[in-house]
Amino acid sequence: MTELYQQQRAMRAMRRAAMQRGVIAVLDIGTAKIGCLVLRFDGPETFRSVDGVGSLAGQSAFRVIGAATTRSRGVRFGEIDAMQETERAIRTAVQGAQKMANTRVDHVIATFSGASPRSYGLAGSIDLAGGAVRDDDIARVLAACELPPIGEGREVLHAQPVNFALDHRSGLSDPRGQIGNRLSVDMHVLTVDANVVRNVLYCINRCDLELAGIASSAYAAGISALVEDEQELGAACIDMGGGSTGLSIFIKKHMIYADSVRLGGDHVTSDISKGLQVPWATAERIKTFYGGVYATGMDDRERIEIGGDSGDWEKDRRTVSRSELIGIMRPRVEEILEEVRDRLDAAGFEHLPSQQIVLTGGASQIPGLDGLAPKILGQQVRIGRPLRVQGLPQAATGAAFASAVGLCLFAAHPQDEWWDFDIPADSYPARSLRWAVKWFKDNW
């Protein structure tokens, strides 16, 4: 745990160094594509004169100056499967973004969707010695959380305090300076497979880059696709990627649950490929051009030429109606959504005051999904696109870039995590000295 703590602290220091230098890259390692955005930080309100309107969600401090995306290789289910291939794909994306930005980036914040994330809700409480809550009290209460056995070979990716309670008052976001006797905290811990993180680290190091932060893509997609009141009142963001579908639940602007379903758009493609006996690339093209989940009468008449190059005339002249294509796609999409529904039920999503569900990610662009999803997930479903950030090219504003854009926001304003506070053990002697002073005061 301490090793991880040090590692995460090192990453935070790296992020600060990158901010100092002004250029940082974000890297979204997905199953379908690898996207790289280069951000330039010039301090707040540099690109726009102050006109009374404040900065746009605090994200006007940066500007996207380079963007590149490439087809992903060697990634399955959001996890790195073939290291050399992935490294090459990362190199392609980073080089393209660097070329567009015309600058060199050394620090990168990465995100990935797989690694079977698992959420834990932790609680800890301490007795306050001096009455008012101070910084080291926060650190102490965070340290007081008992970590459940997270399993062999797993590591903590996020450890965010989501709620503080002081005596009987709960729902405090920042208890510092308040008076009370007992401080308790609820912490959300997200653990992932350590090997996956190690692979990502290795790939990025092989590209001569330094990792300045790492985030779960479900979390990143949530902070970019959910609007502010959804984050406040409670919502789930479902990031439908290529190899896995991430879901994150937000309330009071904190992520309280994240999970991922190892199903995604690539499974739909593979179904089409198998069902129609076409190559993968053709299946992908047919899916993106003609795909859908609702068949109408006209779709029976629309014939899609599948093509082929076997030399057999009969095989190469095959056509398929759009209804048949939809008939292949729909069960798989339903399966994904049902799986998501199960996860949401397991997380107790129905107990949230607001049950907004936002679908984003590349696979959410299937036509008709906004009609199908409410049948499975509930009535409050919308298709979300990521927030607009300055300088983002038009090509990168689609739903597929939700986690990349979310990572930009994460880079600019990271949530306080457990490792942002000093280790309380360091301040132990000071505390005992204070206790001694207090004892003197009380008894003399």
Q: Which residues would be at the binding site for another protein (CB under 8 A)?
A: 70, 88-89, 91-92, 94-95, 98-99, 102-104, 207-208, 281-282, 285, 289-290, 302, 304-305, 307-309, 316-317
Residue with Cβ nearer another protein (102 or 443)? 102
Residue with Cβ nearer another protein (101 or 268)? 101
Number of Cα atoms under 13 Å in the Cβ half of residue 217: 38
Residue with Cβ nearer another protein (20 or 102)? 102
Could you tell me the smallest distance in angstroms from the CB atom of residue 362 to another protein?
A: 19
**Ranges assigned E (strand) in 142-234:** 154-166, 169-172, 182-193, 210-216
The number of angstroms, rounded, from the C-alpha of 93 to the middle of its chain's C-alpha atoms is: 19
Could you tell me the smallest distance in angstroms from the CB atom of residue 316 to another protein?
A: 6
* 177 secondary structure, DSSP code: T
Could you tell me the smallest distance in angstroms from the CB atom of residue 28 to another protein?
A: 17
Using CB atoms within 10 A of its CB, is residue 256 exposed (0-12), middle (13-18) or buried (19+)? buried
Residue with Cβ nearer another protein (32 or 223)? 32
Number of Cα atoms under 13 Å in the Cβ half of residue 379: 1
Residue with tokens 């600060």: 16
| Greatest alpha-carbon span in the chain | 103
Could you tell me the smallest distance in angstroms from the CB atom of residue 76 to another protein?
A: 18
Could you tell me the smallest distance in angstroms from the CB atom of residue 207 to another protein?
A: 7
- Using alpha carbons, select from 73, 29, 403 the residue that is nearest to residue 240: 403
Q: What is the rounded distance in angstroms from the CA atom of residue 418 to the CA atom of residue 8?
A: 9
Could you tell me the smallest distance in angstroms from the CB atom of residue 26 to another protein?
A: 17
Could you tell me the smallest distance in angstroms from the CB atom of residue 413 to another protein?
A: 27
Could you tell me the smallest distance in angstroms from the CB atom of residue 88 to another protein?
A: 4
Residue with Cβ nearer another protein (73 or 254)? 73
Q: Are 361 and 244 in contact (CB under 8 A)?
A: no
Residue with tokens 């690109």: 47
Helix/strand number for the chain, H first, E second = 14, 18
Measured at the CA of 417, the angle between CA 411 and CA 419, to 5 degrees, comes to 105
Could you tell me the smallest distance in angstroms from the CB atom of residue 99 to another protein?
A: 7
Residue with Cβ nearer another protein (23 or 223)? 23
Q: What is the rounded distance in angstroms from the CA atom of residue 426 to the CA atom of residue 422?
A: 8
Q: Which amino acid is at 37?
A: L
Helices 322-347 and 265-276: crossing angle in degrees, nearest 10, is 150
Q: How many CB atoms lie within 10 A of CB 210?
A: 16
**283, 284, 287, 290: CA torsion to nearest 10:** -90
Could you tell me the smallest distance in angstroms from the CB atom of residue 104 to another protein?
A: 4
DSSP string covering 224-266:
HHS-HHHHHH-EEEEEE-SS-EEEEEEETTEEEEEEEES--HH
User: In the beta sheet, which residues pair with residue 75?
Assistant: 80
Residue with Cβ nearer another protein (70 or 224)? 70
Residue with Cβ nearer another protein (176 or 303)? 303
Residue with Cβ nearer another protein (33 or 91)? 91
Residue with Cβ nearer another protein (97 or 407)? 97
Could you tell me the smallest distance in angstroms from the CB atom of residue 315 to another protein?
A: 11
Residue with Cβ nearer another protein (97 or 404)? 97
